[in-house]
Copies of this chain bind each other. A is one copy, B any other.
């Protein structure tokens, strides 16, 4: 069977679900999952469908063409069709911390993640041995104030060359340029080490310690030009006490960061996340 995932977003109107599901039935498709959401404030409709078709008779191109000129046009839809046979290509950006990198690569090596990882880019050489152990090309691109622009051009060139679909900042300690963010809108996933919107910016564990909070958190979000203000994909927290030092906060936080980031990556690769008004609809 051929499996496809369709994401739909449009103004809410009567009859969308019936139209779409009937269309798929007419194409001899079987709906495996259907998820739907309506933002009542804005009358905005969201849908995610996973459908199966017989491989012999199904053509993705014909389906797209037909869907596009009928239903999608009628309801003025934003929509995407993803072929489940094609694994998305994910670039990893890292600096010196290795916990998220190890976590992602060990999942990758046990086929837990439905992605390809064509390359790792870093502004430091430190983690290259880990990349080597997992046989993934590692590009050390130094970033200084002077070289930042050239570095980003090189990064972009590599991303295009490897046909990267989305980027994961696995504790990459650099702020990306507007150009990169615009080229990969809602396709750059960051992990921030606080339960946003608390403690944005640098050194959140230090701020959390100073404020005397009883819970710390981690937040995975899409990167936008406003630092740490992009649409939140996933968050989680853990408890801390007065006995915990900043070093303890950092250690506990590492466990959160890697789990939360991996969850966000999985949601993204399964096409379960839709972005709207700087928020996410996450179908689970």
Identify the A interface with B (CB < 8 A). 14-15, 17-18, 21-22, 24-25, 30-34, 36-38, 40, 98-99, 102-103, 106-107, 109-110, 112, 133, 195-199, 211-215, 217, 231-237, 241-243, 245, 251, 254-255, 259, 262, 277-282, 284
Contacts and interface: CB of A to CB of B under 8 A. Distances in A.
Given A22-B22, A215-B217, A242-B37, A110 B98 contact: yes
Copies of this chain present in the complex amount to 4
Given A17-B31, A199-B197, A237 B215 contact: yes
Nearest to A245: B40
Given A38-B32, A213-B197, A243-B284, A237 B237 contact: yes
Contact of A211 (B32, B37, B232, B234): B232
A27 to B, nearest CB: 11
30 contacts: A14-B30, A17-B31, A18-B18, A18-B21, A32-B38, A37-B242, A99-B110, A103-B106, A112-B254, A133-B133, A195-B213, A196-B198, A196-B211, A197-B199, A211-B232, A211-B279, A212-B232, A212-B277, A213-B232, A214-B232, A214-B282, A215-B217, A215-B237, A241-B282, A241-B284, A242-B279, A242-B282, A243-B284, A255-B259, A255-B262
Contacts of A15: 25
A282 B240 CA distance: 11
Nearest to A282: B242
